[in-house]
Structure 1
Amino acid sequence: MNTTKILAVKSIAIAAIFSLSACAGMNNQDKSAVAGAGIGAVGGAVLTGGSAIGTVGGAAVGGYLGNEVGKKKE
């Protein structure tokens, strides 16, 4: 593996670690929205063959659905 690829992999790993620590102060609804957006982005990318529009659309729909599911029932 060349130096550029190694640097890219390490940078992505560090960014993932820092992004996970950002979830510490979130409530249940926020966590559900983030999880839904992630799952929706992957689903949108798979269904559209990696299209950027499909990925963003899937993330938007997934985030909305995750937010609705995470709401507390009163």
Structure 2
Amino acid sequence: MRQAAMIVVLAGALGLSGCSGLNDRNQKMLSGAAIGAGVGAVGTVLTGGCVTCGTVIGGAVGTGVGYIMHENEEARK
């Protein structure tokens, strides 16, 4: 559980600090990756799985969701 907490904190810090010079699409993708990595880490801890695998998969899914959300917003404009 301690390892998962560290991963969540690091992912959150990177997600918040890395958004300063990015465009809107990249910000959404980075935020999605940070949220997805945190959710993946916590989820695998709760289910007894591999924390690293959950973090990587969650980050990848979060990045994809961030990209799709940006594209949907652009299509509405």
TM-score, structure 1 as length reference: 0.66
Asked whether 1:43 is paired with 2:55, we answer no
Q: AA paired with 2:53?
A: I
Q: Tell me the CA shift for residue 70 of structure 1.
A: 1.3
In structure 2, distance between residues paired with 1:25 and 1:34: 12
Q: Which runs of 5+ in 1 are unaligned?
A: 1-11
TM-score under structure 2 length normalisation = 0.63
Pair member with larger Rg:
1
Moved over 6 A (4+): none
- What SS does structure 2 have at the residue aligned with 1:24? coil
1:32 corresponds in structure 2 to 28
Percent identical among aligned pairs is 36
| Structure 2: gaps of 5 or more residues | 1-9
